[in-house]
Each structure stands twice: as structure tokens, then as C-alpha cells.
Chain A
Amino acid sequence: MKKILLLTLPFATLLTLSCGNNIEQQQAATATEKALAESKKAFRAVEDLNNDYREIPDEKMLENGGQNSAIYGEMKKRYKAQLSEFKKEVESTGAKFIVVIITPEVGPGITNRTRYGHPFIKSTCTELGIEHYDLSPAIAAQNPDVITQAPKDGHWSKKGAIFLADQLEPIITKYSTHKTTTTYPDAQRTETFGDLAPGSDEILDGGKNLPYRVVANAQGLRMNEDVKFPKTKQHILFMGGSQIYSPFLDNDFIATTLLAKRHPEMVIMNSGMISGCTDDFLSLWKEKAKYSEPDVVIVQTNGTDITDLFFTNRNHLARSKQPYYPSAEEEKYFRNTYRK
């Protein structure tokens, strides 16, 4: 009897383990199915909203005295709340939070979004105690034919990226000894910190016949090297839109790579996205960027980030793919502007 029991024991153990595994697998499968169902539901909601509300106002919001309108006031309030949350989120990890205002607009033809947006961003940063730098006057003093891809496009040229790196370098060196207080165990860390396809190497041209090579590291960031853990160097994380992502330039020529070459003692991470606003940067931070354990976080913003918070812009362009329902003010503005 004892022998029988002894012989049965390994089989019983295996059976129990396999049952356990099955239960775990079933639980995991149920969770995945649930998540999938939720994401499908959100996708359908976004689709429905986009069908009902197609137009995105952008610059139109600020036409004819729109800078004093209730809708712009609401967007500013929303922007301020997000910036405040962003600061708290970043600083809770012990990282330094810095805002840089970067816009490609040069000369007298600046848009209202820049004209009215930049003073607001600066005053908000001061009010919230955020260290900020406005690079737009320095950019405006440059020749657009030299620093941008003009006339084909307004993003940085090779020389423009050097100029941008020169502007950003004093900011990162100022905090070269700053350290975050937070580290994450490997099991908790997300596989990616940015939204690019991990390990991708492709040629894009933005439909402007300006081909460029985009290399993403294994963590979905626009950089050639993978970020290693545990950290041995200071981590600087750049977040922002296309001015940080830098379309129409190969990785080797973008400002963050140039900074990385100048400062081998730092790991300069670029999580820039081709189109995005503070809402997207904040969601990226919460979801995955914070796991890159940055010591300094530099967020690029400009006036378009305020109007980009309008619900139709979010439903069409937000990275989160979650539905943004209109507030009473947004609904009123939308009806008055597009459904007269």
C-alpha cells in the first residue's frame, strides 16, 4: 500500500500542478478576454463619437477674439490641471520635472495658439512652481531655411537639431547630479517605455518625399541603444511631440542623439511622438515611461497643446484610444460652430 502511495505521489503532484497551471492559465485568459472586450467597447465608443463629432477646431477656436471665450478658458483650465498632475506624478518618483516651450513657428506669422498660449503656459508653470524654459524667442531669431526642412516642412533640419541640442544642453547639465528616489523591480517594469514598435528599423517619409530612418530600441524609444537596468548612469527622459521625435531626420542627427554623444555619462531617452499633447505625454508617463527610472524629465509643450485638449481632437488623435465625452461647454461650442 505504501509503495502504491509512493508511486502515486509524483503523478498526484504533477496532476495538482497541472490543474493549478490550468487554473492560472484560465484566470489569465479570462483577464485577457475581459481586457480585450473592454478595449473593443472603448474602440466602438470612440468610433461612434468620431462619427457624431468629426470636426477639430484647432486654430479656429482662437479666431475673432476666441482667446477670451469660455471654451478656450475651459481648455486652459484642463491644461493647467494636467500640468499640475504631471508635476505631482513625476516629482513623486523623486525625478526633476522641467517644461520646455518649443515651437517651430518663426517670424511674424505666428499662430494665435502660440500668441495666446505661450504667455499662459509660462504663467501656469510659474504658478505651479515648475521650472520652465521658453525656447521660442531663440528659435524665432533663426533663419527657417537653415534650421527647418523649409519649404517642404517646418520640422528640424540637421542644423536645426544641432541648434536645439545647444539650447537643451545647459538644462540637462544643470541637473547632472540629480537622482530619482524610485526604482522598480524587473517584474514590475513594463517592457517598453515609448510608443514606437520595439526594435523597429524603417524608412518613413511623412508623404513629403523627405525619407528618414527611424530606429527604435527594444523599449520603443527613438534611440539606437537599449536602456539597461540596474542603472549605472543618470537617465534623462525627453517627452513631447514631433519637435522631440524629430521627423525627417535619421536617429543619428536628432537633438537627443546629439546630446547623448556629447554626454556619454548620461542616458538620454527620447519618447517623442509624431503627434501628441500633454494629455498623451501624461498617459504615456503613467502607463510606461516612468518605469524607465528617469532622474530628470523634460516635457516639451507649446500653445497647440491647449487647444488639442478639445474632445474631438482627443477622440481622433489620443494615444489612449479611450472615449472623450464632451463637456457642456464643448458641446455648446461644437453645436454653435459646426452645426448651425
Chain B
Amino acid sequence: MLFNTKEFAIFFAITLAIYWLVKPWRNVQNLVLLAGSYYFYNNLHYTFPIYLACMIGVGYVSAILIDQQTQQTKRKAILIVGICLLGFGLTYLKYSTLILGNITGLEQWQASAIGIIVPLGISYYTFSSIGYITDVYRKRLPAQQNAITYATYVSFFPHLLCGPIASSVAVLPQFSKTNVPTWAQIEQSVAEILWGLFKKMVIAANVEKVVNYCYASHEDLNGSTLFLGVTLFNLYLYADFSAYSDIARGVARLLGIELTQNFKMPFFSRNPGEFWRRWHTSLRKWMLDYLYLPMGGNRGSKLQYVIVMLFIFSFSGLWHGANMTFVCWGLLNGIYFLPYILTDKLTRYKDVVAKGKLLPSGKEFLQLLLTFNLITLTRIFFRAPDMTVVKGLITKIFSASILAVPLKLVVTNVAICLPMLAVEWVQREKEYVLQISTKYPALRILGYIAVIFLIYWLHKRQNTSEYYYFKF
């Protein structure tokens, strides 16, 4: 059940109505959400809720045991056991092919050989659960005693399949009290859902096949077409993934739950550091809290800092998949950080680019262009199925054929994405893209109707493709 389908609209409308009908009883509200989430997840495959229930069980019991224990060593031991148990499922399901497939005699124990399907969203709720028990261990929040509340938090359907990875400190307590959204919050939700639908149904759905074509037919295409193809993938990935996050946030807020803003207009970044503060922020925060800081972060020498950063990015690559392409993708992103780490310029640019101005300065424009193209190059690794394709793409892109005339079809599809970037540029200082600053509500409503009309008019018919990040 995808967010942009009639089935989801009906499911959500029913869930929302029942949820607010039982408003006086928070536990009942959670039961409604839990039942809805399991129905939502079960729709994908009947085995998926079983994994989810196991993860919830391990997370819940581990946190309670950690909380009850006063001795630090025992608390730590329970934490490690909990992380191992939670991590085992993810590691086995996602990486058994890589690990066991290369060990003679153990090949038959790979998840794929046994016939196990990797549950969608497993990475997201595993990370949420690990984050939660670590936070309890760190005493950032008490263990949740109410099993229903905890289960509802982990399995909450808006973020179940594709994040944002919920921070337990920020999100879990919200399931213990009823937050009735204000009219302003409802309007923000609707605006975010609409913009998400526009990005998914108009931009991502229309350009997806052209992206696939460029990667599949790289042997037959010239360098300029391939470069635009990779650029198109960069834009497609943003449109697709951020659409999911926007809709998830909007849907969650209508249920009184505030989720992390996962994307903050990342293409308007002046260096890779800024880009990563704006792209998939919930994963970045998770890495920061549970890997980067425990490993020492930037507190040691420059060399240590570099090693930690390269490790974090390689880990992030492996999180995406057990493939050398992802490791290279992660490492390349890490390498981009090196000049900025060495010159102490990584954390510059915390404010929005060209604040208060219509256009960026020449220098800012070049910085935006450079950052965008650096990120685009990493997408060669991110989307290619193997290193042979990576080599093929790089060889063509960095050849004389980069000056050849590109396929008109690919140019047209890149142009399809430009209005999305233009609107986001104009709105880059706003809290959300469709935040319309006018005191006349009728004007805002007209704006939303215009977006609905555009979605209806321009959306790709008969497109049922999943969100790209489901596979991670």
C-alpha cells in the first residue's frame, strides 16, 4: 500500500476517523494505530509483522531490564546483548548472501537460499529500536513500561517503511499524550502531503524510466547523455525519497505526532558538509548519536577525525546494501569531507544560502553547482548494480563524448525537474515548501487547489512503482 494510492487514502481516512473518535482514551488510540500499522504492514507480506513483533519484543524487554538494573556493567551487558539481538536479524537478512555466500559449506544458510524475504523497512525500525535501548542506557529517557505504547511507536505506519528514523527521545513520549493538531498544523500537514504527492507522482514517476534506461543502456549512450542520466537520478532520488518523508510527516501530524524533517532542501548546499546536514537528516542524526560521538567524533587528532568520518560513511554505504558500489559511494562521500576537515571548514554554512535575496552571488552559485555535481558523481556508485557498470559510466562520462549532443529525451526529463527546484529555491527560507505567506486564507487555499490540479493533470498514469528507499 503506497502513500500515493487510493487504497492508502481509504485506509488512512478510516484510521484517522477512528483515532480521533477515541480521543479521550490514549491507550485505545494507540491500539487503533497499532492495529492500523499491522494491517498496513501485513498488506505487503504476511511474514513482515512477525519480524516486527520480534524486534518490538527484544527492544521492549531490553529497555526494561536496562532500566531496572543499577550496576553499570550489567546495564552495559544487557545493552550489548540487546543490540546484538536486534542487529542480528538485520545483519542476517541483509548481509547473509555477502557473508555466507562466500564460505564453502555455509551457502545453503543464506537468507535467500532458505527462502526468507527481507522485510521492507527492517533497517529503519532496527535502527529506531537500537537507538531507543541506547537512549534508555544513557538515561536520556526512562524505559517505556506500556508495551502497547512502545509497540505503537516502533510500528507507527507513517515512518515504518522509509523513515524518518524516529528519535526515541523526541517521538516516543508523544505516544503517551494526545496532541490535537491546530488548524495551522493541519494546514501544514496538507501542504506537506500535497508537495510530497507532487514530487512522487509528477516528478519521480515521470522520470524514473528514463533514469533506468540510462543506467541499463550505458553501453549505447554517449557521455553527455549519461551525465544527464546520472543527474536525473540525483533529482529523481530526491523527489522520490523526500516525497515519502514529506507525506509521512504530514500524515503523522494529522495523528498528533511530529516527526523529524528528513530533508531541508539539500540541493541548495554550498559544500558536502552542508549537503549532509540537509539530506536524510534522521539517518545522519542516528549515525551522529550512536556511532560518531561514541567513536570520539572530532575530539581527537585530525587523523582520528578523518578515520572516524571515513568509517561512518563506509558504514552508511553498507547500511544501503551489501555491495562494493555502496561502500565506494560511502567512501567517496567521506573523501569529499577531507579538504573541509583539514581546513576546519566542514561545519560552515549553517544558515540558508543567499538569505533575503532572490538570487545567489556568483561565488555562491559556483559553490552550489560544485556541490550538486560532486553529489551527482556519487550517484554513479549509488545506482549502478555493480562495479562493471560503474566503470562503464565513468569511462563514458570522462571521455570526449561528454561534449556530444545528449539525447533530447533525457534533456527533456531533466527539464521536468526544474520547476520543483525553482519552487524550492523561492521557498528555501520557509519551514516547508508550500508555506504561503499571506494573511488571506482564500489565496492559500487557491494555491493548494492549483497544486492538486497540477498533480491530477501531470501525474504519470498507471505508475505503481515503489519508493526507491524501500529497498534499504
Q: B409: which A residues are within 8 A, CB to CB?
A: 201-203, 213
Query: In whole angstroms, what is the CA distance A173 to B216 when docked?
Result: 34
Q: Which of B199-243 contact A (CB under 8 A)?
A: 209-210, 212-213, 216-217, 220
Q: A205: which B residues are within 8 A, CB to CB?
A: 209, 212-213
Q: Is the CB of B220 within 8 A of A211?
A: no
Q: In this assembly, does A212 line the interface, its C-beta being within 8 Å of a C-beta of chain B?
A: yes
Query: In whole angstroms, what is the CA distance A209 to B465 when docked?
Result: 11
In the complex, 5 of the A-B residue pairs with CB atoms within 8 angstroms, ordered by the A residue number, are A201-B408, A201-B409, A203-B212, A211-B216, A213-B409
Q: Is the CB of A203 within 8 A of B220?
A: no
Q: In this assembly, does A89 line the interface, its C-beta being within 8 Å of a C-beta of chain B?
A: no
Q: In this assembly, does A250 line the interface, its C-beta being within 8 Å of a C-beta of chain B?
A: yes
Q: B210: which A residues are within 8 A, CB to CB?
A: 203
- Residues of A in contact with B (beta carbons under 8 Å apart): 201-205, 209-213, 250, 252-253
Query: In whole angstroms, what is the CA distance A202 to B210 when docked?
Result: 8
Q: B212: which A residues are within 8 A, CB to CB?
A: 203, 205, 209, 211
Query: In whole angstroms, what is the CA distance A209 to B213 when docked?
Result: 9
B207: nearest chain-A partner, CB-CB: A203
The SS class assigned to the B binding surface is: helix
Query: In whole angstroms, what is the CA distance A253 to B409 when docked?
Result: 18
As a 0/1 sequence over residues 239 to 261 of chain B, the CB contacts with chain A under 8 angstroms (1 = contact) are 00000000000000000000000
Q: Which of B405-445 contact A (CB under 8 A)?
A: 408-409
Query: In whole angstroms, what is the CA distance A212 to B214 when docked?
Result: 9
Least CB distance from A216 to B in Å reads 13
Q: B217: which A residues are within 8 A, CB to CB?
A: 211-213, 250
Query: In whole angstroms, what is the CA distance A252 to B209 when docked?
Result: 18
**Given known A250-B220, A252-B220, contact A212–B408 (CB-CB < 8 A):** no
Least CB distance from B145 to A in Å reads 47
Q: Is the CB of B220 within 8 A of A210?
A: no
6 shortest A-B CB distances, which residue pairs?
A211-B213, A203-B209, A211-B212, A203-B213, A211-B216, A203-B210
Q: A201: which B residues are within 8 A, CB to CB?
A: 408-409
**Given known A201-B408, A201-B409, A203-B409, contact A210–B216 (CB-CB < 8 A):** yes
Given contact pairs A203-B213, A210-B216, A213-B217, a sample of 10 additional A-B residue pairs in the complex whose CB atoms are under 8 Å apart:
A202-B209, A203-B210, A203-B212, A203-B409, A205-B209, A205-B212, A211-B212, A211-B213, A212-B217, A250-B217
Query: In whole angstroms, what is the CA distance A252 to B220 when docked?
Result: 10
**Given known A201-B408, A201-B409, A203-B409, contact A212–B213 (CB-CB < 8 A):** yes
Q: A213: which B residues are within 8 A, CB to CB?
A: 213, 217, 409
Q: A202: which B residues are within 8 A, CB to CB?
A: 209, 409
Query: In whole angstroms, what is the CA distance A221 to B209 when docked?
Result: 22
Least CB distance from A220 to B in Å reads 18
Query: In whole angstroms, what is the CA distance A253 to B219 when docked?
Result: 13
B413: nearest chain-A partner, CB-CB: A203
Q: A252: which B residues are within 8 A, CB to CB?
A: 220
Q: A209: which B residues are within 8 A, CB to CB?
A: 212
Q: B213: which A residues are within 8 A, CB to CB?
A: 203, 205, 211-213
Q: Which of B430-468 contact A (CB under 8 A)?
A: none
B216: nearest chain-A partner, CB-CB: A211
Q: A211: which B residues are within 8 A, CB to CB?
A: 209, 212-213, 216-217
Q: Is the CB of B209 within 8 A of A204?
A: yes
A210: nearest chain-B partner, CB-CB: B216
Interface centre among A209, A213, A253 (most CB of B within 10 A): A213
Least CB distance from A253 to B in Å reads 8
Least CB distance from A249 to B in Å reads 10
Least CB distance from A250 to B in Å reads 7
B408: nearest chain-A partner, CB-CB: A201
B210: nearest chain-A partner, CB-CB: A203
Least CB distance from A252 to B in Å reads 7
Query: In whole angstroms, what is the CA distance A202 to B408 when docked?
Result: 11
Query: In whole angstroms, what is the CA distance A203 to B216 when docked?
Result: 12
Q: B209: which A residues are within 8 A, CB to CB?
A: 202-205, 211
Q: A253: which B residues are within 8 A, CB to CB?
A: 220
Q: B216: which A residues are within 8 A, CB to CB?
A: 210-211
Query: In whole angstroms, what is the CA distance A211 to B409 when docked?
Result: 14
Least CB distance from B322 to A in Å reads 20
Query: In whole angstroms, what is the CA distance A201 to B216 when docked?
Result: 17
Query: In whole angstroms, what is the CA distance A212 to B217 when docked?
Result: 8
Q: B408: which A residues are within 8 A, CB to CB?
A: 201
Least CB distance from B468 to A in Å reads 13
Query: In whole angstroms, what is the CA distance A201 to B412 when docked?
Result: 11
A209: nearest chain-B partner, CB-CB: B212
Least CB distance from B218 to A in Å reads 11
Least CB distance from A317 to B in Å reads 17
Query: In whole angstroms, what is the CA distance A205 to B212 when docked?
Result: 9
Query: In whole angstroms, what is the CA distance A210 to B217 when docked?
Result: 10
B410: nearest chain-A partner, CB-CB: A203
Query: In whole angstroms, what is the CA distance A253 to B216 when docked?
Result: 14
Query: In whole angstroms, what is the CA distance A211 to B208 when docked?
Result: 10
Least CB distance from B303 to A in Å reads 44
